[in-house]
């Protein structure tokens, strides 16, 4: 690997944390301008450049231009989230008869790994591939007891341009004692561009799910069976504008301030279609394929204009959409949900594939 302009991989310094720890950025590139930029702080996707219908390349994920902004405000922009993405009710669960207490950081619940989740950690680059499918692998060791979770967990995140205009993100994890694991990438997408003045309410969304998890006032799934999407604002089995029903007088939309719900994907094993976003203005289309059982759809409801993003722009409600492939929320407390238990000798594998085109 070199930093020459002809290289498909460029490795550079993005900034320094207090104490002078260096945060690197790795740029994975293709000749047509498709480019993913990954930083070692939070193993985050800092930028993703995608051509539109006219071939103009634009960054389609929200974030920051500098490291200080990532460190100053925790917004999960593009971050690798863990040890448990989403919420765990009451900030605790029971494992093998032992009560595990976590840090509550979202009302009474634990959210996205606690007070100092994987998004706030400095990861290490362990491999770089400068070949036809450029890639970078980052690693982090989460020690036993970190944020209350049992077991020392060795985690890796591999970003790869696996085909033209296709970004693959693979997470793996191993443990030295029984624990729970649920990782995801938390990118905020606006297919009209991160610098665009348009929101995502006109984007058309398709989700391959017949059911979703209704939640209580603290965004914890209710103790009921998954609800059918039929006849609800959550029916995206056919493409529909995100904003078409987001302001309906629906209890679940009121509780989430919009969409912030887990959609239950097909139980089939392996990589499969989960969702599609289409942006009529730019013509960009993104398809998401995953091997995970759930997809958290979040319509940027808590973006409030208080934190400046790239180019000094203030991000506001519905400026972006998150599609977070993951396990179902609060699974450690729900024996009726697909298990997130990881045992010694097993390997946790999470694969998400983002495929872009233009129409």
Q: Where are the alpha helices (DSSP H) in the chain?
A: 67-72, 251-256
Q: Reply yes or no on whether 186 is catalytic.
A: yes
Tokens representing 60 are: 């389609």
Q: Which of 24, 166, 170, 324 is catalytic?
A: 324
DSSP β-bridge partners for residue 240: 205
Compute the distance between CA of residue 139 and CA of residue 158 in angstroms, rounded to an integer. Answer: 9
**Side-chain-side CA neighbours of residue 122 (13 Å):** 13
* Residues constituting the chain: 359
Tokens 């091997």, residue?
291
Q: Which of 112, 186, 203, 261 is catalytic?
A: 186
Q: What Rg value do the Cα atoms of the chain yield, rounded?
A: 19
Compute the distance between CA of residue 94 and CA of residue 100 in angstroms, rounded to an integer. Answer: 6
Q: Where are the alpha helices (DSSP H) in 60-114?
A: 67-72
Helix (H) / strand (E) element for 100: namely: strand 98-101
Compute the distance between CA of residue 178 and CA of residue 94 in angstroms, rounded to an integer. Answer: 12
Q: Which residues contact 306 (CB under 8 A, 6 or more apart)?
A: 314
Q: Do 190 and 309 form a contact (C-beta atoms < 8 A)?
A: no
* Phi, psi for 298 (deg, rounded to 5): -130, 120
Q: Where are the alpha helices (DSSP H) in 210-291?
A: 251-256
Sheet strand arrangement including 35-39: 9-16, 22-29, 35-39, 44-51, 57-59
Q: Reply yes or no on whether 324 is catalytic.
A: yes
Buried b (16+ CB within 10 A) or exposed e, 85-107: bbbbbbbbbebeeeebebebbbe
Tell me the CA distances in angstroms from 259 to 84, 252, 253, 298, one per residue in order: 20, 8, 6, 5
Compute the distance between CA of residue 190 and CA of residue 251 in angstroms, rounded to an integer. Answer: 26
Active-site residues, by number, are 186, 324
């Amino acid at each position: 690997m070199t930093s020459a302009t002809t290289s498909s991989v460029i490795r550079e310094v993005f900034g320094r944390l207090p104490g002078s720890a260096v945060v690197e950025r790795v740029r994975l590139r293709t000749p047509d301008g498709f480019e993913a930029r990954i930083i070692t702080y939070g193993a985050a996707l800092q930028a993703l450049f995608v051509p539109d219908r006219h071939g103009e390349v634009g960054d389609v994920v929200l974030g920051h231009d500098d490291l200080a902004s990532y460190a100053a405000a925790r917004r999960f922009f593009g971050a690798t989230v863990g040890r448990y993405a989403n919420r765990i009710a009451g900030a605790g669960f029971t494992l093998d008869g032992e009560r595990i207490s976590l840090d509550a950081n979202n009302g009474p619940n634990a959210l996205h790994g606690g007070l100092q989740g994987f998004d706030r950690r400095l990861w290490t680059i362990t491999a770089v591939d400068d070949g036809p499918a450029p890639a970078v692998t980052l690693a982090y060791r989460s020690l036993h007891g970190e944020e209350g979770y049992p077991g020392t967990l060795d985690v890796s995140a591999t970003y790869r341009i696996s085909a033209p205009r296709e970004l693959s993100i693979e997470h793996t994890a191993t443990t030295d004692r029984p624990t729970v694991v649920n990782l995801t990438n938390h990118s905020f997408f606006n297919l009209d561009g991160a610098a665009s003045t348009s929101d995502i309410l006109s984007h058309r969304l398709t989700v391959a799910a017949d059911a979703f998890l209704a939640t209580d006032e603290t965004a914890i799934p209710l103790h009921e069976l998954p609800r059918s999407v039929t006849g609800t604002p959550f029916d995206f089995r056919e493409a529909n504008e995100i904003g078409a029903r987001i302001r309906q007088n629906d209890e679940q939309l009121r509780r989430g301030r919009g969409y912030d719900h887990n959609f239950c994907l097909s139980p089939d094993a392996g990589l499969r279609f989960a969702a599609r976003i289409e942006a009529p203005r730019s013509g960009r289309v993104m398809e998401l394929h995953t091997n995970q059982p759930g997809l958290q759809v979040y319509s940027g409801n808590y973006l409030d204009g208080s934190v400046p993003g790239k180019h000094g722009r203030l991000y506001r409600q519905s400026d972006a959409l998150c599609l977070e492939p993951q396990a179902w929320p609060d699974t450690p407390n729900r024996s009726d949900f697909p298990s997130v238990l990881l045992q010694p000798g097993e390997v946790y594998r999470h694969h998400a594939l983002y495929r872009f085109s233009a129409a």
